[in-house]
Amino acid sequence: MTLKIRNKSGVSMIVAALIAAFFILLPLGVLGFEMLRFSIAQMQLRSVCDAAALSGAAAIASTRSTWTPQQAQEEAMKAAFITFKQNNIFGDSLATGTTVNYNPTAPLGTPNPGQCIVNFTLLDQTFQRVEIGDPAAKLIRCESSFGYKPPIGGALGFNNIPVIAFAEGGLPQLDIILCYDISGSMDDQTRVSFVKRSWDTDKVKYEVVSQLRTSPTSLPPSCIYNMQGPPISGTRVNAIGPQNLSYADYSKAALYANGNEYAYQFSPALRGGTGTSEVGAPPGNKTDPNIPVGGATTFTDIVVNINGLNTFSKTTIDGLNFENIGAVVEA
């Protein structure tokens, strides 16, 4: 009878594989797991800092106009902290166990496991720290440190690893230019008709006295600008109220920088008013026949050519018939 002895080298390979798995692969797996959790904690904390910094910046931009810079900045940092506390890191709420410092000069400390330290710092446009109350403060920096507790690494003595993140929020630097138009010429391109309204024996007479001109610009000949020929700044006469009709009078040429090239004489008396008033009961010469009708450029009314043409003609708008210019004036 022959006894066969097995080769012991196969057992040694199994033992070596088990040793390698326990002392090499397992620690590497644990290390990878902890590093992944640490990275996730850092991303969560960075998101919290982003939200808090933006909240503080928005609070600065929306503070009351009656507040001093110090009041506005203090309220902004408080608003940022309220946003910060509404979050959590791996289930650890930041509403409790969070220490806050407003505009500190000292750096972040090391928090206890599961707790957090957050600093809110005021910065100017060059990212330099400024004191509370300084009007140059335009940014808020949120800097935080969280005590991360490794779930497995704690058995090896790694009970607290600080996770640090920061974010800055603020309004971009803007150059604001305000342009104030004092010419009163916003509607100088409107097509209009200058109309003289007078009493003629037994009826009201409506006479168009507009003088259509194709200069000084290529605008429509019936627009206010071409018919009056004012300086480049425009005329103060408007198509709708307040119309400032007295500014069309050539006698008011001193009101314009270069004078008024074309003369239109507004007649307050014929309009039914007094002085330069545009309010009255026209036509004025009905009650006072001594009021002169005036010349070819005397007018009492300016109306918009609602047909959109240089000269008004019969038109219908929204079911309403306008037979002649008189209907437009009275409307």
Structure confidence by residue, pLDDT tens digits, 282-300:
788 888 888 888 888 888 8
Can you give the pLDDT at residue 250? 43
For the cut 50, the answer to whether the pLDDT of residue 260 exceeds it is no
Q: Six-digit token pair at 85? A: 């506390």
Can you give the pLDDT at residue 252? 46
At 202-217, the pLDDT tens digits run 888 998 888 787 766 6
Can you give the pLDDT at residue 137? 87
128: amino acid identity, one letter: Q
For the cut 80, the answer to whether the pLDDT of residue 166 exceeds it is yes
163 strand-pairing partners: 146
Q: Whole-angstrom Cα distance, residue 112 to residue 96?
A: 12
Mean pLDDT confidence for 231-235? 74
Q: Whole-angstrom Cα distance, residue 68 to residue 57?
A: 16
Can you give the pLDDT at residue 239? 84
For the cut 50, the answer to whether the pLDDT of residue 257 exceeds it is no
**Cβ contacts of residue 323 below 8 Å, gap of 6+?**
314
Cis check for the bond before 135: say yes or no (omega within 30 of 0). no
Q: Whole-angstrom Cα distance, residue 325 to residue 295?
A: 19
Can you give the pLDDT at residue 145? 92
Mean pLDDT confidence for 13-25? 65
For the cut 70, the answer to whether the pLDDT of residue 185 exceeds it is no
Asked if 121 contacts 107 with a C-beta cutoff of 8 angstroms, the reply is no
**Residue 275 confidence class, pLDDT cut points 50, 70, 90:** low
Percent of the chain's residues with pLDDT above 90: 14
At 29-59, the pLDDT tens digits run 767 777 888 888 889 999 999 999 999 888 8
Q: Six-digit token pair at 9? A: 């080298």
**Residue 259 confidence class, pLDDT cut points 50, 70, 90:** very low
At 320, phi and psi to the nearest 5?
-100, 130
Can you give the pLDDT at residue 254? 43
For the cut 80, the answer to whether the pLDDT of residue 98 exceeds it is yes
Can you give the pLDDT at residue 132? 92
Asked if 199 contacts 286 with a C-beta cutoff of 8 angstroms, the reply is yes
Q: Whole-angstrom Cα distance, residue 281 to residue 274?
A: 11
If we measure between CA atoms, which residue out of 139, 194, 146, 147 comes closest to residue 170? 139
Kind and range of the H or E element at 92?
Answer: strand 92-93
Kind and range of the H or E element at 3?
Answer: none
Mean pLDDT confidence for 177-196? 77
SS (H, E, C) the chain: CCCCCCCCHHHHHHHHHHHHHHHHHHHHHHHHHHHHHHHHHHHHHHHHHHHHHHHHHHHHHCCCCCCCHHHHHHHHHHHHHHHHHCCEECCEECCCCEEEEECCCCCCCCCCECCEEEEEEEECCCCCECCCCCCCCCEEEEEEEEEECCCCHHHHCCCCEEEEEEEEEECCCCCCCCCCCCCCCCCCCCEEEEEEEEEECCEEEEEECCCCCCCCCCCCCCEHHHHHCCCCCCCCCCCCCCCCHHHHCHHHHHHCCCCCCCCCEECHHHHCCCCCCCCCCCCHHHCCCCCCCCCCCEECEEEECCCCCCCCCCEEECCEEECCHHHHHHC
28: amino acid identity, one letter: L
Give the lowest-confidence range in 226-230, 236-240, 250-254, 289-293: 250-254
Mean residue pLDDT of the chain comes to 80
250 strand-pairing partners: none
**Residue 78 confidence class, pLDDT cut points 50, 70, 90:** very high
Can you give the pLDDT at residue 17? 66
Within 10 angstroms of residue 158's Cβ, the number of other Cβ atoms is 13
